[in-house]
Structure 1
Amino acid sequence: MKCVAYSSEYRQAWDEWVASSRTPLFFFKRDFMEYHADRFQDASFMFYDEDKLVAVFPASRRDGEVVSHGGLTFGGMLYNAKVRADTVITSFQVLLDRLREDGCTKLLYKSIPHIFADQGAQEDLFALTQQGAQLVRRDLSSVIHLENRPKLSKGRKWLIARAAKFGLESSDSDDWQAFHDLLSEALERHGAEPVHSVAELRLLHERFPENIVLKSVLHEGRMIAAALLFRFGRVTHTQYLATNDEGKEAGALDALIEKCIQDSAARGEKFFSFGISTEMGGKVLNSGLINQKENFGARGMVLDFYEVDLK
């Protein structure tokens, strides 16, 4: 098996492989991975067995540490349905040998949660443990199983009804500046700021208009609640949620989230994902944040980080 460093000449082959893989997520495509290429040194690889592509590995490198991928929530080896366990194990052996040859000292592997796979896709976790990987971080995320959803809490129902009483409705939006302003205001209370700029949000939406969708609630022409959704086919994920004091009082964000959940179910999707509620590298649970998600019927799913010491 050969391990080949990714370069632009392989762009089409890479994207076609991602689309045919068991985890065909749009943010593994090069148009997404490279929008912030100035911030991350690409260290992606492609694996060939007798000149036949069998896997791709989205990754970035910082000094001697390789991460899968530094600019993504998670990443990992991407295989299609034809690839079997023995090939997966071999590909990891080849990868680690290559990283050592390149002078790397550590591999941080952010595993892909099972809900994003069209088929079983966890041979990589077995292969990692075979290579001495250690679990170094575990975040707690929240997911609604749409075919078996717990009931809304009474508090959520009350707020959703309140929004209806005020006549508030959600709709698609392309006002990225207003959204960024609202999000910045919401994050500022917690001493944070948006990861993406207005220009980056607009660019990514233009590249992936079916996958990156902005929903908002307006009152008297002003945005008071918004949700930036990543649609992955079988899963809709809330990349950002934001509201202001007016929106909170009126239940605007609650009504917006519920509408997004119902739309996801109507499209025949399997899961609705809220993302993590852990802080400080998974060491601390934000109880207030996860309680809000659980009130919509979301329950726990972990995001695991594995480390291989290449020394």
Structure 2
Amino acid sequence: MVTLATTHPCSINLSLFVSNSDCFIQLSNPNIATMQEDVLYHFNLSTSTHDFPAMFGDVKFVCVGGSSSRMRTFIKYVAAELGLDHPGKEYTNICAGTDRYAMYKAGPVLSVSHGMGIPSIGIMLHELIKMLYHARCSNITIIRIGTSGGIGLEPGSVVITQQAVDECFKPEFEQIVLGKRVIRNTNLDPQLVQELVQCSSDLNEFPTVVGNTMCTLDFYEGQGRLDGALCSYTEKDKQAYLRAAHAAGVRNIEMESSVFATMCSACGLKAAVVCVTLLDRLQGDQINTPHDVLVEYQQRPQRLVGHFIKKSLGRA
């Protein structure tokens, strides 16, 4: 399996007297600099009503995931692991004025929900990245933690994404902009992948693999399921497609990684995707695992990333 090299350039704000080692968020949008106010509508935050540097300037780690309850659980877990607050402390939802997304903060860690699918995480990332930019954050590591369907893996396996690919197994994200097709790469940070692999070895608690992650626009036909309201193919067709995906290095399927990789790469963010598999799609389409087992599975990416943060801060 070949690791694809990539770099994440630093965008230095020359009006700030900082060392050359600081890597600031870069926005590929000159319009932001001319705006008197930037309203982050889906977060219920604004540069005119909130002091972003005071609220978020110390953030170094951002973890995002689909469910708001899962991200609340994660911030409580990582705060306890870092010894930031007393056990059982409840964290306030910073985006409490909206029901679109939830955001929690503990020390240098930010935990944000993104909903399900490319449109939902795409909207969240636009506003999150702008928020970090306005807060003058530097040297940010952002990791998506979530669930997925595995291909040829035992349920409960954790996949660290080497490359996000589309439904044709290409490392690309395609978007229509002003009626034109725009294709961007889906690079992730290879060094961060290796650091996460080492953290998994440190824990030695669950099977972890590095592989490509296929990002789809749909949960049913887009992932070759046979149990949706529409289905125009056979079990044989499905198996052939999933086995072709496996041969192309794909080890799991979800619905957010491509736009996540694209946007983070374009804005100079060191990024990774860590997802647990809830089933092996070669064996079936529906999840029948008991709830308590699924809950433990969902905690695995959290434990891995929590250990990475502790280790990065010298607290492991």
- TM-score in same-fold range (> 0.5): no
TM-score, normalisation: structure 2: 0.30
- Report the structure, 1 or 2, having the larger strand content: 1
Greater Rg by CA: 1
